[in-house]
Amino acid sequence: MRIVPAILTNNASELKAMINACENVFDRAQIDIVDGIYADNKTVEPSSLGYIETNLMLDFQLMVKEPINWVEQCVRVGAERIIGHIEAMGDQFAFVEKVTEEGRGVGFGLDLKTPVANIHPKLLTSLNAVLLMSVKAGFGGQEFDERVFSKIADLINIKNESGADFSIIVDGGINPGNIKALNQAGVDEVAVGRSLITGNIEKNLQQFNDQLIA
């Protein structure tokens, strides 16, 4: 299982500091973008990364109205993978086509209450990732909701039946106490926010890894 730091902030200076802190520990980071419309919260925009040099592979999780309109901004600042939430997405096919044309990995994000069945079945084999929120999307510091496990099982079944090869990502409220259960459920990646990247990152990461092998 890959553990990915998730950065959610409305402060460009903090964004830079968090990216710098993650560079020597991780090879990938997830930047969470919220536009104030999708959720009652607003973060930095992708353009805030325009002046930040990093060797991290960057994922962008777009919790925004019409994520397709944000794709080019993400590409300009070096996105490797772009994940758009389907709740405010007018055309799933157009989003996948746009991101793919830009040569980036493409994923769908699903809020806690959004069923897996809302993903158009014809797109399943075109996705690189499906991200399941285990809290309400748009805010950090929330408690993990175990309802996500049934959605993980749904995605596992879909992959087995369709031959799709997307990564299953879970994001929200993840801690050393629940990471092992997520790994056993078949999750490929977890996105972890401030509990991972605040303080001693190496020590925090070790606590997660210790539970994975316990």
- Tokens standing for residue 2: 């890959």
d(CA 48, CA 70): 13
Q: What are the pLDDT digits (tens) for 30-88?
A: 999 999 999 888 999 999 998 889 999 999 999 999 999 999 999 999 999 999 999 99
Reported as a single tens digit per residue, the pLDDT across 3-35 is 999 999 999 999 999 999 999 899 999 999 999
State the average pLDDT over residues 162-179.
Answer: 95
Distances (CA, A) of 99 to 68, 91, 155, 184, 189: 8, 13, 22, 31, 21
Report the C-alpha gap between 190 and 3 in whole angstroms: 5
Three-state DSSP state, 68 = helix
Torsion, CA 6, CA 12, CA 18, CA 22, rounded to 10: 80
Question: Which amino acid belongs to residue 196?
Answer: L
pTM: 0.96
Q: How far, in Å, CA of 60 to CA of 51, rounded?
A: 17
pLDDT tens, position by position, 109-136 = 999 999 999 999 999 999 999 999 999 8
Q: pLDDT tens-digit profile of 142-155?
A: 789 999 999 999 99
Task: Match 């968090």 to its residue by tokens.
Answer: 18
Q: How far apart are CA 123 and CA 138, in angstroms?
A: 25
**pLDDT tens track for 81-91:** 999 999 999 99
Q: Name all domains of the chain by residue range, CATH numbers in brackets.
A: 2-213 (3.20.20.70)
